[in-house]
A and B are shown apart, each in its own frame.
Chain A
């Protein structure tokens, strides 16, 4: 790796980002220490752990963690590693238990993380081992928002709502019921797979890289959407809307749509009349319930650093877990309204499967792009040349018509903003800086 300081590798003012941050092995460990040990990370969904004793093994950065609902119903996130010799205390993916028993020496932990069983405790440890000091390592910060569970390893991290800022308005469009009731989603299944590329290419894709649409031409040609006979890979629900690409001081970015004041339902799901009727009713109910707020509708987004979403067609949260600089483990949590009729859920899950992930006809092409963008940036000569992020420089307004740095044209402004924040994490800045509190609107406008 070059010894260039991060500010020279990441230059949002000129729209230049060094390839080093995508390919240099040293960045992996630095990111784990400076980004993933501080930022709020998505860990799982309450629908995966509904009952006391339920657990779901998740990841934070490159480490295994256990999302667990204890016997009293309280939710925890623990590092999945025994305090004695480090063995994973749980190697199942999901289940229900009263104890996590380490396979190695049989130390056991209750569902609230406390060390309970130590074999031959009296004979071997009495007077030495204070069991209360050897609980499973727990994230100091955990919050649940509309059934999604988030955690941070930084005890000084701000609360989740401060961290999300105004980006939460967009996250709501993913998590709320289609008819506008708050929350109410459930996870109907997951993908887990490995791809050989840098995780940030994936995150960036969801920050609002609408420019890569041509790479999905094949699915638009053949039509795989819910109205496939009209072609395209999804319905055009936002025909009359103003597309917006929005960045936030905390590094989040997204592509959403701001609909006109009077906007009407755009029929979709042409192949499935029953589902069409459901979404039609949900549309009008949502307008009635939310009023002017119903004008915001989601496409894609990425919450800093590595939680992405698709908001409607399909609807899922994705997490990009770095294994190394050039290898990523991707997890996708597919969402539906928990109380949607079975026929609706069935149509949605079938659409999700043919659209998303490694078997998804749309996203296969993304993985191809990310892989070869990573591989072709590894070379000595390639690394001398920065990547170009100069699209739509300065072409955005602040808090107009919605909060954030808002562009009404396709833009690299959201990734420029993301890497500006990334650089602050990599320098070990204090939270005021990571949250962009120094950026007043006028300064933000000057980028």
Chain B
């Protein structure tokens, strides 16, 4: 992609959107966060496996649409996760955890149809999500993320989120927070 003014304007807009999204999650505005998700959302976090050199492409990650992943779900299910937290009796998140989402290495990987007229943007980043729970529990989730954002009037909707968590055996008792 050519580093035109339109490109940098778009990149800035996307970064601001991602930061805004993180603010909603970390500020526990879960209902508002749901409004950022497209109705045909794909929310996917594969399970990573220890495989031989040369087999990573084929075998390292579980695949969307097959078998068991940490998350392989749609907006209905993600909405259920929010509804569950909002019951106030989802004990794995009651009392609520303290969470910070950090985003870095933001890159525009693809823009359709053009940076001048962006309708759909594929954006890559790194995430570091820190969770502090009750008194002493804390977990750090680090990985790579690829989002597909879709233009929705003046705003953006998240149409697809793929989270590549850099862990094999999950080193956390739960994935009870939203990524």
User: Which of A89-140 touch B at CB < 8 Å?
Assistant: 91-95
- Do residues A92 and B51 form an inter-chain contact, with CB atoms below 8 A? yes
Closest beta carbon of chain B to A362's beta carbon, Å: 10
CB of A320 within 8 Å of the partner chain: no
- Given A194-B170, A196-B173, is A91 in contact with B50 using a C-beta cutoff of 8 Å? yes
- Given A92-B52, A218-B87, A224-B80, is A367 in contact with B71 using a C-beta cutoff of 8 Å? no
**Complex: how many Å from CA A350 to CA B67?**
9
**For A23, what are the chain B residues with a Cβ–Cβ distance below 8 Å?**
none
- Do residues B68 and A194 form an inter-chain contact, with CB atoms below 8 A? no
CB of A282 within 8 Å of the partner chain: no
**Which of A66-74, A163-171, A353-361, A419-427 faces chain B?**
A353-361
CB of B77 within 8 Å of the partner chain: yes
Report which of A197, A222, A368 forms a contact with B80, defined as CB distance below 8 A.
A222
- Do residues B84 and A94 form an inter-chain contact, with CB atoms below 8 A? no
**Complex: how many Å from CA A218 to CA B176?**
13
- Do residues B72 and A361 form an inter-chain contact, with CB atoms below 8 A? no
Interface size class of A (residues with CB under 8 A): 35 or more
**Which of B88-96, B100-108, B111-119, B144-152 faces chain A?**
B88-96
- Given A92-B50, A93-B50, A354-B77, is A217 in contact with B89 using a C-beta cutoff of 8 Å? yes
- Do residues B84 and A367 form an inter-chain contact, with CB atoms below 8 A? no
Q: Mark B21-51, 1 if CB is under 8 A from A, else 0.
A: 0000000000000000000000001010111
With CB as the reference atom, state the residue of chain A lying closest to B85: A218
CB of B61 within 8 Å of the partner chain: no
**For A222, what are the chain B residues with a Cβ–Cβ distance below 8 Å?**
80, 83-84, 87
**Complex: how many Å from CA A191 to CA B62?**
11
Q: Mark A359-378, 1 if CB is under 8 A from B, else 0.
A: 10100110111011000000
**Complex: how many Å from CA A369 to CA B89?**
13
- Do residues B169 and A358 form an inter-chain contact, with CB atoms below 8 A? no
- Do residues A195 and B50 form an inter-chain contact, with CB atoms below 8 A? no
- Do residues B83 and A364 form an inter-chain contact, with CB atoms below 8 A? no
User: Which of A160-204 touch B at CB < 8 Å?
Assistant: 188-197
Interface of B is mostly: loop
- Do residues B80 and A361 form an inter-chain contact, with CB atoms below 8 A? yes
**For A190, what are the chain B residues with a Cβ–Cβ distance below 8 Å?**
47, 68
With CB as the reference atom, state the residue of chain A lying closest to B67: A189
- Do residues B80 and A354 form an inter-chain contact, with CB atoms below 8 A? yes
**For B80, what are the chain A residues with a Cβ–Cβ distance below 8 Å?**
222-224, 228, 354, 361
CB of B131 within 8 Å of the partner chain: no
- Do residues A193 and B84 form an inter-chain contact, with CB atoms below 8 A? no
**Complex: how many Å from CA A173 to CA B92?**
31
CB of A209 within 8 Å of the partner chain: no
**For B4, what are the chain A residues with a Cβ–Cβ distance below 8 Å?**
none
**Complex: how many Å from CA A93 to CA B50?**
6
**For A361, what are the chain B residues with a Cβ–Cβ distance below 8 Å?**
80-81, 84, 90
**For B47, what are the chain A residues with a Cβ–Cβ distance below 8 Å?**
189-192
**Complex: how many Å from CA A221 to CA B174?**
20
- Do residues A329 and B169 form an inter-chain contact, with CB atoms below 8 A? yes
- Do residues B170 and A367 form an inter-chain contact, with CB atoms below 8 A? no
**For B72, what are the chain A residues with a Cβ–Cβ distance below 8 Å?**
349-350, 353
With CB as the reference atom, state the residue of chain B lying closest to A354: B77
CB of B5 within 8 Å of the partner chain: no
**Complex: how many Å from CA A53 to CA B46?**
26
**Complex: how many Å from CA A368 to CA B93?**
9
- Do residues B89 and A349 form an inter-chain contact, with CB atoms below 8 A? no
**Complex: how many Å from CA A196 to CA B172?**
9
CB of A215 within 8 Å of the partner chain: yes
- Do residues A359 and B52 form an inter-chain contact, with CB atoms below 8 A? no
**For A206, what are the chain B residues with a Cβ–Cβ distance below 8 Å?**
none
Closest beta carbon of chain A to B85's beta carbon, Å: 8
- Do residues B90 and A353 form an inter-chain contact, with CB atoms below 8 A? no
- Do residues B169 and A364 form an inter-chain contact, with CB atoms below 8 A? no
- Do residues B51 and A95 form an inter-chain contact, with CB atoms below 8 A? yes
Closest beta carbon of chain A to B68's beta carbon, Å: 3
**Complex: how many Å from CA A349 to CA B70?**
11
Given contacts A222-B87, A224-B80, A364-B175, 10 further A-B contacts (CB under 8 A): A91-B50, A93-B168, A188-B67, A191-B170, A217-B87, A218-B89, A329-B169, A334-B68, A358-B175, A364-B92
Residues of B whose CB lies within 8 Å of any CB of A are 45, 47, 49-52, 55, 62, 65, 67-73, 77, 80-81, 83-84, 87, 89-93, 134, 137, 168-176
Closest 8 CB pairs of A and B: A189-B68, A364-B92, A193-B170, A195-B173, A189-B67, A218-B90, A359-B175, A218-B87
21 A-B interface contacts by CB (under 8 A): A92-B50, A93-B49, A93-B168, A95-B52, A189-B47, A189-B67, A189-B69, A192-B47, A193-B172, A215-B91, A218-B87, A219-B90, A221-B87, A349-B67, A349-B68, A350-B73, A353-B69, A353-B70, A361-B84, A365-B90, A368-B173
